A and B are shown apart, each in its own frame.
Chain A
Amino acid sequence: EGSQETLDFYFLDV
């Protein structure tokens, strides 16, 4: 199944 990533890692402009 694998675990679901979020987009924060890719798109959040911190």
Chain B
Amino acid sequence: MFEARLLQGGLLKKVLDSIKDIITEGNFDCSPNGLSLQAMDSSHVSLIDILLESEGFEHYRCDRNIPMGLNITNLVKMIKCAGSEDIVTIKCEDKPDNVTFLFESKDNDKISDFEMKTMTIDDEHLLVPDQTYTAVVKMPSAEFQRLCRDMAAIGDTVNISVTKEGVRFSTTGDMGTANITVRPNPSGDQKEEERTEVQITEPVSAGFALRYLNSFTKATPLSPTVTLGMVPNLPIVVEYKIADMGHVRYYLAPKIED
């Protein structure tokens, strides 16, 4: 039996909105310590890693690990019926043929329940190793979203180069080139979440497809900051922390110079 009650149902909408352009179905792994999902897009160029820890739920019961295969597109349609202030409860049996979603309005004057069939999805066996990153950049998520959008107007690939001076985003296209350098501003009197911070043990520079980075920025509403992790010749990780709950992480394979 699995039952999880989330007071801020709007959070679930934001999480689903942050992945719906990348995957159409996914196996949610319900385990005693939380709800997680790991899935690659159809081209295997990007991977999504979601974790919603059990502590973030108002009530959480999970007797044993349950793979809950769901069609993301249908899930998004169904969750649209919930108000963003609704309390959402997710329930299913141990060998679930279907999952029930319960939406309770804030002042409890409207209760809706939806039942969705589960699907059997044979996952590739993914293993995302814990990685220490030689360059970690934490910056305002809205700024990163704006930057990726502006760069995509000019080129398809952005080269991200991190040194202790800061992060330089460069792109080239038919109309020309664009470079944006973001400098760390630790001294600034900005709030914590408006600062750009760079921790670096080794400079790193790599190229990534802007199309994917732009789809990752759909997670911007989840967190005021975004963290980029880079290691030479490895995929980049783009992480949006969900306060007191977990994270949505995206991994993107680099483009290799021919």
Residues in chain A within 8 A of chain B (CB atoms) = 1-14
Contacts and interface: CB of A to CB of B under 8 A. Distances in A.
Contacts of B44: 6-8
B255 A11 contact: no
Given A1-B156, A7-B235, A12-B126, 20 more contacts: A1-B255, A2-B207, A2-B255, A2-B256, A2-B257, A3-B255, A3-B258, A4-B209, A5-B45, A5-B253, A5-B256, A7-B45, A7-B253, A8-B44, A10-B234, A10-B235, A11-B127, A11-B251, A12-B124, A13-B127
Contacts, number: 55
Nearest to B209: A4
Interface in B204-258: 207, 209, 234-235, 251, 253-258
A4 B253 contact: yes
The prevalent SS among residues of B at the interface is: loop
A14 B125 contact: yes
B47 interface: yes
Contacts of A8: 44
Interface residues of B, number: 25
Contacts of A12: 124-127
A11 B124 CA distance: 10
A7 B185 CA distance: 33
Contacts of B124: 12
Interface in B37-74: 40, 43-47
B209 to A, nearest CB: 6
A5 to B, nearest CB: 4
B156 A7 contact: no
Contacts of A7: 40, 44-47, 235, 251, 253
Contacts of A4: 45, 209, 253, 255
Contacts of B43: 6
A6 B209 CA distance: 12
B89 interface: no
Nearest to A4: B255
A7 B22 CA distance: 14
A6 B158 CA distance: 17
A6 to B, nearest CB: 4
A3 B45 contact: no
Contacts of A9: 253
28 contacts: A1-B156, A1-B157, A1-B255, A2-B157, A2-B256, A2-B257, A2-B258, A3-B255, A3-B256, A3-B258, A4-B209, A5-B45, A5-B253, A5-B256, A6-B43, A6-B45, A6-B253, A7-B47, A7-B253, A8-B44, A9-B253, A11-B40, A11-B126, A11-B128, A11-B235, A12-B127, A13-B127, A14-B125
